[in-house]
């Protein structure tokens, strides 16, 4: 091993990666091990200043095995998905030299060196907020930087895909398409190499968009996306129709809507796709209910009243219908959290007013812990105190219908205001590292 004579060096890299929200969903694999999907999907990358994963990877001749800490707790790396990502990155590693510190690692050395990985999600893990997407994107990106992997981002996305399908889309900012790749009976080595993410437009292209996430439950969901989509592939006839007949056309329409910044089309396609995805879940046997209310509420009022999913959709649909053109797009992943997209800041402040009107904080929740993220949207909406929320007028679309103006305090745990954001970045400042530079253990 052509490294320096002393064995006490540690080399580290720290990166930050975004989450993403699909507007045309990935649901179903044609190959479970390689994570090859049955249809293309399109997502918006969310601003990492509000939702992100930070990962530090370190290598040292002193490390005796690969180790990982997630959110401060040591986890096992023995799972196939972690192993595959590590193997794929190691096999592409290059030479690394740090002249100042006298460190020289030849590409053939990486197979013998062990890594330590520490990762932190600044949002709930495994709760339907795409932690696996940000997490695996960040893992692959930071390892690629540490090991001097000279592959283009698309190739890295094909590695992140093998950690979690949706992770491949988090390798880029803005609007991203995951191309399913050709269905070929080819040799194992090349299988899936064309199932990669490509950037459709960067985060500046449509930077008026405002995204508000209503977090209903931070609890871990009952059916993981992996299990849920496997059951759908096995049992849902609707999924087969969706992937062969609906999605191919919808992808083209969505690409066009994004290219031309056509919000009404974008909103119609986004809502339709989310609703069809949940219809597929219901069409699965046994049915999967991601839209049921798993909120923290102790005493449910009644089935109808606690059914958050139907309530938020009907409020948004009512507003869209009242205005005659879509004001807001809604989409739900494999959980009850709602992602709402407004075309610009003006509409976003009207959206936030409506959300706070219907779903105010419970009495013991403070405003500053109820609306997180971009505070300028809160300011634009004229909300500075909880009294401002109490004083919000009934939205005009429900004025003549008192029953619809009912409020549901405490249904939403918190809101996050965000926007389209950029892809992974490498930190150069060692203070950002999650591992101690002299021990290689979590700080």
Ligand X SMILES: Nc1ncnc2c1ncn2[C@@H]1O[C@H](COP(=O)(O)OP(=O)(O)OP(=O)(O)O)[C@@H](O)[C@H]1O
Ligand Y SMILES: C[C@@](O)(CCOP(=O)(O)OP(=O)(O)O)CC(=O)O
Q: Where are the beta strands (DSSP E) in 19-70?
A: 20-24, 29-31, 36-37, 41-45, 52-60, 67-70
d(CA 82, CA 140): 10
Residues 40-69 that bind ligand X (CB under 6 A): 53
d(CA 198, CA 43): 11
Binding partner selected for residue 35 from ligand Y, ligand X, none, CB under the kind-specific 5 to 8 Å limit: ligand Y
Query: Smallest gap, in angstroms, from Cβ of residue 233 to ligand Y?
Result: 11
DSSP bridge partners of 52: 18
Give the interface size with ligand X as a residue count (CB under 6 A): 22
For residue 43, what is the DSSP state?
Answer: E
Query: Smallest gap, in angstroms, from Cβ of residue 37 to ligand X?
Result: 14
Residues 153-182 that bind ligand X (CB under 6 A): 166
d(CA 41, CA 167): 12
Binding partner selected for residue 204 from ligand Y, ligand X, none, CB under the kind-specific 5 to 8 Å limit: none
Stretch that binds ligand X, among 89-97, 174-182, 191-199, 327-335 (CB under 6 A): 327-335
Query: Counting contacts by CB under 6 A, is residue 225 touching ligand X?
Result: yes
Query: Counting contacts by CB under 6 A, is residue 22 touching ligand Y?
Result: yes
Whether a cis peptide bond, with omega within 30° of 0, leads into 308 is no
Binding partner selected for residue 236 from ligand X, ligand Y, none, CB under the kind-specific 5 to 8 Å limit: none
Residue 235: exposure state from Cβ atoms within 10 A (0-12, 13-18, ≥19): middle
**CB neighbours (10 Å) of residue 432?**
13
Q: Using DSSP bridges, classify how beta strands 96-98 and 197-201 pair: parallel, antiparallel or unpaired.
A: unpaired
Binding partner selected for residue 41 from ligand Y, ligand X, none, CB under the kind-specific 5 to 8 Å limit: ligand Y
Binding partner selected for residue 197 from ligand X, ligand Y, none, CB under the kind-specific 5 to 8 Å limit: none
DSSP bridge partners of 116: 58, 67
Binding partner selected for residue 165 from ligand X, ligand Y, none, CB under the kind-specific 5 to 8 Å limit: ligand Y
Stretch that binds ligand Y, among 48-56, 163-171, 356-364, 422-430 (CB under 6 A): 163-171
The dihedrals phi and psi of 422, each to the nearest 5 degrees, come to -90, 170
Residues 111-150 that bind ligand X (CB under 6 A): 119, 121, 125-133, 135-136, 139
Query: Of all residues in this chain, which one has the CB nearest to ligand X in the complex?
Result: 135
d(CA 418, CA 212): 6
What would the two tokens of residue 342 be? 């407004």
Nearer to ligand Y, 143 or 197 (CB): 197
d(CA 285, CA 266): 31
Give the x-and-dash track for 319-338 against ligand Y (CB under 6 A): --------------xx----
Of 10, 26, 217, 269, which lies in the binding site for ligand Y, with binding defined by CB under 6 A? 26
How far CA 125 is from CA of 70, 83, 102, 258, in Å, comes to 10, 20, 39, 29
Binding partner selected for residue 327 from ligand X, ligand Y, none, CB under the kind-specific 5 to 8 Å limit: none
For residue 220, what is the DSSP state?
Answer: P
d(CA 173, CA 15): 14
Binding partner selected for residue 157 from ligand X, ligand Y, none, CB under the kind-specific 5 to 8 Å limit: none
Query: Smallest gap, in angstroms, from Cβ of residue 224 to ligand Y?
Result: 7
Binding site for ligand X (CB under 6 A): 53, 70, 119, 121, 125-133, 135-136, 139, 166, 224-225, 333-335
Binding site for ligand Y (CB under 6 A): 22, 25-27, 35, 41, 132, 164-166, 225-226, 333-334
């Amino acid at each position: 091993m052509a490294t320096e004579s002393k064995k006490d060096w540690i080399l580290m890299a720290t990166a930050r990666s975004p989450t993403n929200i699909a507007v045309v969903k990935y649901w179903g694999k044609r190959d479970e091990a390689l994570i090859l999907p049955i249809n293309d999907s399109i997502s918006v990358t969310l601003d990492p200043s509000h939702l992100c994963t930070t990962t530090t990877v370190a290598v040292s001749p002193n490390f005796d095995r690969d180790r990982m800490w997630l959110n401060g707790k040591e986890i096992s790396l023995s799972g196939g998905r972690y192993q595959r990502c590590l193997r794929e990155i190691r096999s592409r590693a290059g030479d690394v030299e740090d002249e100042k510190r006298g460190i020289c690692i030849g590409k053939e050395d990486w197979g013998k060196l062990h890594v330590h990985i520490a990762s932190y999600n600044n949002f709930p893990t495994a709760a339907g907020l795409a932690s696996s997407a940000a997490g695996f994107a960040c893992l692959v990106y930071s390892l690629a930087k540490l090991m001097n992997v000279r592959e283009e981002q698309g190739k890295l996305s094909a590695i992140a895909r093998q950690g979690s399908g949706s992770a491949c889309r988090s390798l880029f900012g803005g609007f991203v398409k995951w191309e399913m790749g050709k269905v070929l009976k080819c040799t194992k080595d090349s299988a899936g190499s064309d199932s990669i993410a490509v950037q459709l437009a960067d985060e500046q292209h449509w930077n008026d968009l405002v995204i508000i996430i209503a977090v209903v439950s931070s609890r871990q969901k009952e059916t993981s996306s992996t299990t849920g989509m496997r059951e759908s592939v096995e049992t849902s006839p609707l999924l087969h129709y969706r992937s062969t007949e609906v999605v191919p056309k919808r992808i083209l329409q969505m690409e066009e809507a994004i290219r031309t910044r056509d919000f009404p089309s974008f909103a119609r396609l986004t809502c339709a796709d989310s609703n069809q995805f949940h219809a597929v879940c219901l069409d699965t046997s046994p049915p999967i209910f991601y839209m049921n209310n798993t909120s923290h509420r102790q005493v449910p009022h009644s089935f109808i009243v606690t059914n958050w999913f139907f309530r938020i959709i009907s409020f948004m649909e009512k507003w869209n219908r009242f205005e005659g053109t879509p004001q807001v797009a809604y989409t739900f992943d494999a959980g009850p959290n709602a992602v709402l997209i407004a075309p610009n800041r003006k509409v976003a402040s009207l959206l936030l007013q409506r959300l706070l009107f219907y779903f105010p904080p419970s009495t013991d929740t403070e405003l500053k812990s109820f609306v997180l993220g971009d505070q300028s949207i809160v300011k634009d909406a004229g909300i500075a105190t909880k009294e401002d929320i109490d004083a919000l007028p009934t939205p005009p679309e429900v004025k003549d219908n008192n029953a619809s103006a009912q409020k549901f305090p405490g249904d939403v745990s918190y809101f996050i205001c965000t926007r389209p954001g950029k892809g992974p970045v490498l930190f150069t400042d060692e203070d950002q590292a999650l591992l101690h530079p002299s021990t290689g253990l979590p700080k």
